[in-house]
Chains A and B, each alone.
With several copies, the nearest count.
Chain A
Amino acid sequence: MNYIPHTELEKKEMLKTIGVESVDDLFKHIPAELRPKSFNIPEGKSEFEVMEHLKILSRKNATNLTDFVGGGFYDHYIPAAVDALAGRAEFYTAYTPYQPECSQGWLQAIYEYQTVICELTGLDVSNASLYDGGTALYEAAMMAVRLSGRKKIIVDSGVSLIYRTMLYAYTSNLSIEFVETPVVHGQACREDIYKHLDDKTAAVIVQNPNFFGAVDDFSDIVERVHKCGALAIASVYPVSLGMLKSPGEMGIDIATGEGQSLGIPLSFGGPYLGFIAVKKEHMRQLPGRIVGATVDKDNKRGFVLTLQAREQHIRRERATSNICSNEALCALRALIYTCLLGKSGFYELARLNYQKAEFAKVTLDKVTGVKVKRSAPTFNEFTVCLPKNADEVVCSLIDKGFACGFPLGRFYKGLDNYLLVAVTEKRTKEEIVQFANSLEAVLCS
């Protein structure tokens, strides 16, 4: 099966027009010694046989675990209309809208997506998408370095370790100094942050809710950050923005985050969606594609890729970022998802997540030996202290059909008995109660 339409007759006609005997002649300038030493790829299979193979592999994955694992990637319900619309061939088989007149569908969709991200984050300008929440945070840090001309970045350790590790990997060859500040009573430690804040600081990075699920209002930190000429960067969980104070309201300069929770499947790690939003004055330092509205010759509204001078295909080594292909289709899914929920629905979604988590806290607190950390308010994720090693508890609960949470000991020293539990609108009351009962059984066996 090779999807090639040329018949033997047509190949002959084309070779004749080209003026060569055979297709091999078109490759004869590749010298013999540069030919492949081997090319042992199995022979092609029919669509049916490949699908059977993939069905067998998909059945090797767990498909009926009740999912309380979050850590930045959440099991939210995806309305069927998201797949139906993002699955239209005119969206998913087009490429970057270089030719505006025959891409107004994509250009308007990106413009609408940029608007949704600005409205959720409370900031002025967004871009067409970045790879994921981690690279988005890295691009924000680089923006701050460029804008401030400074090289020191303070990172609250409430920011996901996954993103911190990516940040350090990307900047290992650049002379950027990172300072990590501790989490105290579940929230960012003001004292420590202010201690390190100075005129060499390019940015302070915080996360809301942080990796422990704790919710915060960073307005105070932002004020101090701006006083010393640095930028405030916040990585945020978009569904929580249905209810929580927005980065814009806190005065944050650059908001980033992972958009997976906006109608994108978990799909074992990707494709996901990185979003970024900034204040108007920092617009020209934004990485990646941006769509703007304009008019055509008849003064009719239309949309185009704009501010392209920042981008790699124009500025090459002086570009703000090297991104070319992005996560456009995932941005479209997020746009469709938020429009389907709409203004009232998105608030209700956040409220439902919050209420389910509060119920889970109360229910888990009743399990002997289990203590829910109450030091800071949370949204839909919280930390639980278990009477024994969280890894083992998680392992035994998997056998009972629960992916019951993320053992915090993996990311934070000294927290081996702590479990991070996420509760979305998909978790029914019954599932939460059964989870607590199974935990009870596992802990006392």
Chain B
Amino acid sequence: MQLIFEKSRPGRKGFALPEIDVPIAPGLTEKYCRKQAAPLPEVSELDVVRHFSNLSRLNFSVDTNFYPLGSCTMKYNPKFTEKACALEGFSDLHPLLPQLLGGGMLAQGSLEVLYNTERLLSEITGMHAFTTQPLAGAHGELTGVMLIAAYHKNNGERRKHIIIPDSSHGTNPASAAIAGYNVVVIPTDKDGFLDMTAYKKALSRETAAVMLTCPDTLGFFNPKIKEIADLAHGAGALMYYDGANLNAILGKCRPGDIGFDVIHLNLHKTFATPHGGGGPGAGPVGVCEKLADFLPISRVIRRSDGTFALDYHKHKSIGYIAPFYGNFGVILKAYAYILCLGRAGLIEASENAVLSANYCLSRLKDYYAPAYGKRCMHECVLSAASQLEQGVHALDISKYLIDKGFHPPTIYFPLIVKEAMMIEPTETESKETLDAFIDCLIEAALLSKSNPEALHSAPLSMPVKRLDETKAAREPNLRWQQK
């Protein structure tokens, strides 16, 4: 499709601003001004509406397609939470208001939302307290590791590394490194679990923390999780829980009960806030009691008279990790979702997510080799290794799925599984959708033998065929340029 810049016509006007209703003052001296106006597009409002309406129709999305992207929990996002966010009282509230004398009383509604959400997340995960400030999961990881660093520093210790399984998501090692830690990687044993011997060997007084995802990124719940935690605590290390897979164990297991000290959640995964083409998300961080003092400021507190306020006087706090109180709009949607599902609804979400994932695994395991076992939690990891023998990659199978109107599963993650395909159906997809998707994958498996070319040429029904990614990296064209 033409770029909006290629639709620009000199002199064409779009949105109109109010007339200037004040006397005209002299402008700024030239020194402070730009030479010419930024060459933004010159288009009408209809040009813009038609451009972005048609552009949107080139995307697969949860509202139009089955989107089983592993580790992303692309469940249905209820529509009413959008309406809640658009309520004038929530959408137009200035974040600095509570920092004005008397201003706090004008933000009681939003402060109560934050306070209630922190309480609910604490009870769901068994943690002592939460901060809603982190702006995505990875940001929550960085915050968590900063809390770990502050904790050890407060004990006069300067521990050097963080233990991370090789199957973990890329953000885990990146977050640890960025916060100044070395990363010690532990391999996965033949059953798909953390290699205990390597783990015991790596654990030492230099270990600041152990970062785990549970269920892990292979979709398994490690029954030895308690033992792993006890060992860590024995060495004075803290347990970090990557909460991306919480959708598997709502009401079945709480990280706080099984030895985790600091966790992050992904509201845009487990709590159904929209993924927005990559964001916004939110990564609230929960801590055990001994880490509460280090939480970022400000803290939302409830005064004796039932009103809410912001407390900035936490001398041990690691300081600001976000400009204000987190991605409020995303937090509000998660809050509304939790109130709507309630206790039974949250439990049913996990039960049906795990049921659907196991249903996919059971029907597919005879066509694609399961990475490790016959059971899984909320997502299953299959390998297209056997298809590779006919020269068919997980990538080719994904492109075939696209032609059939399905968004492909996550591929080539976790890195430790050859030609990995990670399918996370979620609890909101119907059985007939799962069956149609499974049948399509089975078709692809049969085609790999009978007619691999059909898979190599896919996709054929999309706006573009397969794109030259090497050219994009070698000759980077990262913006439009006026000829």
Q: Which of B142, B281, B462 contacts A101 (CB 8 A)?
A: B462
- Is B340 an interface residue, CB under 8 A from the partner? yes
A296 touches B17 (CB 8 A): no
Contacts of B387 in A (CB 8 A): none
Answer yes or no: A42 CB below 8 A from chain B CBs: yes
Chain A contacts for B446, CB-based, 8 A: none
Contact B96 A307 (CB under 8 A): no
B136 proximal to A (CB < 8 A): yes
Determine which of B24, B40, B96, B472 lies in contact with A406 in the assembled complex, contact meaning CB atoms within 8 Å.
B96
Question: Are the C-beta atoms of A355 and B279 separated by less than 8 Å?
Answer: no
> A63: which B residues are within 8 A, CB to CB?
88-89, 92
Among residues 247 to 275 in chain B, which have CB atoms less than 8 Å away from a CB atom of chain A? 249, 251-254, 257-258, 266, 268, 274-275
Instruction: Give residues of chain A (94-148) contacting chain B, Cβ–Cβ below 8 Å.
Output: 94-106, 108-109, 111-112, 114-116, 118-120, 122, 124-126, 128-129, 131-135, 142
Contact: A166 with B5, CB < 8 Å? no
Contact, CB under 8 Å: B93 / A268 = yes
CB-defined contacts of A58 to chain B, threshold 8 Å: 84, 87-90, 109
Q: By the criterion CB–CB under 8 Å, are A336 and B48 in contact?
A: yes
Q: Is the CB of B32 within 8 A of A6?
A: no
Least Cβ–Cβ distance between B217 and chain A, in angstroms: 12
- Is the Cβ of A392 less than 8 Å from the Cβ of B101? yes
Residues of chain B lying within 8 A (CB to CB) of residue A13: 431
> Do B327 and A270 have beta carbons less than 8 Å apart?
yes
A283 CA to B87 CA, complexed, in Å: 40
With A39-B124, A101-B464, A114-B479 given, is the CB distance from A329 to B20 under 8 Å? no
Inter-chain CA distance A8–B410, complex, in Å, is 30
Distance A72 CA – B323 CA, assembled complex (angstroms): 10
Say if the beta carbon of A231 comes within 8 Å of chain B. Answer: no
Residues of A1-33 contacting chain B, CB below 8 A: 1-11, 13-15, 17-20, 23, 26-27, 29-31, 33
Over the window 41-58 of chain A, the binary record of Cβ atoms lying under 8 Å from chain B Cβ atoms (1 yes, 0 no) is 111111111110111111
In whole angstroms, how far apart are the Cα atoms of A84 and B183 in the complex?
45
Give the bracket for the number of chain B residues in contact with chain A: 35 or more
> Quick check: which of A167-175, A177-185, A197-205, A437-445 contacts chain B, the rest being far away?
A167-175
- The stretch among B7-15, B194-202, B231-239 that forms the contact with chain A is B7-15
Stretch at the interface among A151-159, A221-229, A239-247, A367-375: A239-247
CA distance A432 to B25 in the complex (A): 16
A7 contacts B480, C-beta separation under 8 Å: no
Contact B52 A85 (CB under 8 A): yes
B94–A75 contact, CB under 8 A? yes
Chain A residues contacting B5 (CB-CB under 8 Å) are 112, 115
B315 at the interface (CB under 8 A from A): no
> B468: CB under 8 A from chain A?
yes
Q: Any chain A CB within 8 A of the CB of B156?
A: no
In the complex the two chains form, is B55's CB within 8 Å of A105's CB?
A: yes
B340/A7 in contact, CB under 8 A = no
Q: Which of B367-382 contact A (CB under 8 A)?
A: 375, 377
Please give, as numbers and ranges, the residues of chain A lying within 8 Å of B359 by CB-CB distance: 14, 17-18
* B469–A55 CB distance below 8 A: no
Q: Are A311 and B170 in contact (CB under 8 A)?
A: yes
- Check B477 against A292 for contact (C-beta < 8 Å): yes
Taking CB atoms, residues of chain A closer than 8 Å to B82 are 80, 84, 87
In B76-116, the 8 Å CB interface with A consists of: 76-80, 82-97, 99-103, 106-110, 112-113
The answer, yes or no, to whether B321 is at the interface (CB within 8 Å) is yes
Assess whether B146 is in contact with A169, with CB atoms less than 8 Å apart: yes
Of the candidates B1, B178, B253, the one whose C-beta lies within 8 Å of that of A104 is B1
Q: Tell me if B62 is interfacial: C-beta within 8 Å of chain A.
A: yes
- Which A residues between 317 and 356 are near B, CB-CB below 8 angstroms? 317-319, 321-330, 332, 335-336, 338-349, 351-352, 354-356
A425: chain B residues at CB < 8 Å are 17-18
Bound Cα distance A217, B201 (Å): 57
B83 touches A80 (CB 8 A): yes
Tell me if A172 and B318 are in contact (CB < 8 A): yes
Q: Are A377 and B28 in contact (CB under 8 A)?
A: yes
Residues 383-434 of B contacting A (Cβ, < 8 Å): 398-399, 402, 407-408, 410, 413, 427-431
Cβ-defined contact, B38 with A14, below 8 A? no
Cβ of A216: which chain B residues have Cβ within 8 Å of it? 32
Q: Known A165-B320, A314-B170; judge A322-B39 contact (CB<8 A).
A: no
- For chain A, residues 59 to 73, give those with C-beta under 8 angstroms from any C-beta of chain B: 59-63, 65, 67, 69, 71-73
Give the distance in Å from the alpha carbon of A277 to the alpha carbon of B482 in the complex. Answer: 18
A228-256 vs B: 1/0 string, CB under 8 Å?
00000000000001111110010000000
B127 to A: closest C-beta gap in Å: 12
Segment among B221-229, B285-293, B447-455 that sits at the interface with chain A: B221-229
CA–CA, A293 to B3, complex, Å?
11
Q: How far is the CA of A351 from the CA of B37 in the complex (A)?
A: 11
- Chain B residue at minimal CB-CB distance from A404: B100
Chain B residues in 8 Å Cβ range of A172: 146, 149-150, 318-319
User: Could you say which residues of chain A place their CB within 8 Å of the CB of B29?
Assistant: 377
A19, A35, A49, A90: the one within 8 Å of B18 (CB): A49
B466 A329 Cβ-Cβ under 8 A = no
| Of A59, A289, A342, most B-chain CB atoms within 10 Å | A342
The A-contacting residues of B in range 17-56, CB under 8 angstroms, are 17-25, 27-29, 31-35, 37-49, 51-53, 55-56
On chain A, the residues within 8 Å of B21 by CB distance are 428-429
Bound CA span A112–B47, Å: 15
Contact in complex: A40, B325 (CB < 8 Å):
no
Q: Report chain A residues within 8 Å CB of B53.
A: 85, 88-89
Q: A36 within 8 Å of B by Cβ?
A: yes
Could you tell me the distance in whole angstroms from the C-beta of B429 to the nearest C-beta in chain A? 7
Q: Most chain-A Cβ atoms within 10 A of its Cβ — which of B79, B92, B107, B427?
A: B92
CB distance from B107 to the nearest CB of A (A): 6
Cβ-based interface call for B204 (8 A): no
Provide the residues of chain B in CB contact with A38, threshold 8 Å.
Answer: 123, 126
A388 located at the interface, meaning its Cβ lies under 8 Å from any Cβ of chain B in the complex: no
A391 within 8 A of B: yes
B216 interfacial contact with A, CB 8 Å: no
Partner of B473, one of A50, A292, A336, A399: A292
From the candidates A8, A297, A306, A316, name the one contacting B465 in the complex (CB within 8 A). A297
Interface check A294, CB cutoff 8 A: yes
B131 interfacial contact with A, CB 8 Å:
no
B296 within 8 A of A: yes
Q: 20 additional contacts, CB 8 Å, given A54-B84, A79-B79? A: A6-B430, A26-B355, A34-B223, A35-B253, A36-B253, A39-B343, A44-B344, A46-B16, A46-B19, A91-B61, A93-B63, A244-B33, A270-B280, A270-B323, A292-B478, A302-B467, A313-B413, A316-B183, A324-B138, A394-B101
Q: What would be 25 A-B contacts, judged by CB atoms less than 8 Å apart?
A: A5-B430, A27-B354, A39-B123, A41-B343, A47-B80, A57-B112, A61-B108, A79-B80, A102-B459, A111-B480, A112-B3, A129-B279, A173-B179, A215-B32, A243-B34, A271-B282, A294-B467, A294-B468, A307-B473, A315-B170, A318-B177, A328-B278, A328-B279, A341-B14, A343-B38
